[in-house]
Structure 1
């Protein structure tokens, strides 16, 4: 699928830490855009800002085929077409602040609601790591347990590309999401200094999420959750879905994501 051209230039940006640049990228990428609602369950979102390069309402979700190292199977978009909606986010477990745990919280809350409301078989929850070097099967399994993921519900997948380069290519060229691997020592230290102030994970408020080894590199990335229906059409893109979005007006809070996911999944199951 032809993606939009990215509107900002990473090369000219001054990296002041993961949290700071992530916020800048959110602004550059814009908020939820407006698209065609003819093939969607949800109507067009009320707000739009900018012209994000990632898929938005009414656009096709790009094809993917990525291993799940925990279940030892390859997960692809075709697995869910005509069967399940999908809710996906993008993380790495060595995240130096609370952004990635906050993103997983949103998926986990949908998983809890799906079990309670009986639509667990109608939605898939996907967490895509762009750090396969450190995010091994064991690391991801442990991280999921720390975040209270229910593996027995059989609707959760961690997606781990074979290499960072392979994941970067799909994210940037097919999906249209900008990430950057940061290896400068001063930039890494600055990114770590921003961590720990707000974890965004409601059930573990105040816990230290800096237990994982950050190694000699980190990443800059936007905080994004995307909901697509069982026809592979994006229903919502939720940017800025991180620690500080609980009370924002951009539709990125947990309650809105849960309500939207339930509506899409239950509507499909009734058709």
Structure 2
């Protein structure tokens, strides 16, 4: 049974037992249950060494594979960000989030992108790296909400390399993320707010001390009548449009590791 079939077979009722976001694949599969088989890495042009860990057979793009094409509007800049425009020009980090995330997982994902943005500014490679944060809850994540959220999370929109991507509606967002990126999302309509019961409060505590709302498992945001469960996925894609790293446990990967990978990919 492949992973898409497994995740797709999980009922909403079953997923509702995990509050808010799924911090990692283990939240569903069980921490000690290995994924079957050994993944077949792609053969695209890469800067990073082939990963040594057993990744099984993920349905999302992995090392050496070409990133699926995409095109989404950035409502804060008025631009449309497309993979075809980035290819040959920039490397990028891409993650998926929603601003009403109740348990600190989404802020922890954005934290890693934000650290990469700060490092790019400090080390002079801003023009070589974009940071892409794609919301799968555009009905609540309006342009005004995204702009406010950027301030809350410490995102520097003035640098010009950060893009909040906002699909047309929730159905389009979730279908696109599932079909293109192999990431299953489940909506829970019970209004239950996360309490950290997925066992992940954002990780990387030493780097979270200056966060206003991310990484500590708590915030003051109005989470509304529904929430989502999803894996904490981050992609690092090079200028050739090839995946250098996919981090399916993005909230637990060390920020220093992400920065090291990014610097290697952009030639720093």
Bin of the TM-score, shorter chain as denominator length:
0.7 to 0.9
Alignment-derived partner of residue 241 in structure 1: 250
Instruction: Give the secondary structure class of the aligned counterpart of 1:66.
Output: strand
Alignment-derived partner of residue 17 in structure 1: 18
Alignment-derived partner of residue 263 in structure 2: 262
In structure 2, the CA distance between the partners of 1:102 and 1:92, relative to structure 1 (3 Å rule), is same
In structure 2, the CA distance between the partners of 1:45 and 1:93, relative to structure 1 (3 Å rule), is same
List gaps (5 residues or longer) in structure 2: none
Displacement of 1:25 in angstroms is 3.7
Distance in 1 (CA, whole Å) between partners of 2:255 and 2:29 is 18
Alignment-derived partner of residue 249 in structure 1: none
Distance in 2 (CA, whole Å) between partners of 1:63 and 1:166 is 15
Deviation digits for residues 17-66 of structure 1, max 9, x if unmatched? Answer: 23585442476895995513551111211112321111000111111111
Alignment-derived partner of residue 137 in structure 2: 131
Displacement of 1:208 in angstroms is 7.2
1:203 equivalent in alignment to 2:225: no
Higher relative helix content: 1
Distance in 1 (CA, whole Å) between partners of 2:21 and 2:56 is 19
1:170 to 168, 173, 176: 176
Displacement of 1:195 in angstroms is 9.0
Distance in 2 (CA, whole Å) between partners of 1:113 and 1:10 is 39
Displacement of 1:197 in angstroms is 8.3
Aligned length: 254
Moved over 6 A (4+): 205-208
Length-normalised TM-score, structure 1? 0.84
2:99 to 93, 114, 118: 93
Whether the 8 Å CA contact 1:26–1:223 is kept in 2: the answer is no
List gaps (5 residues or longer) in structure 1: 246-251
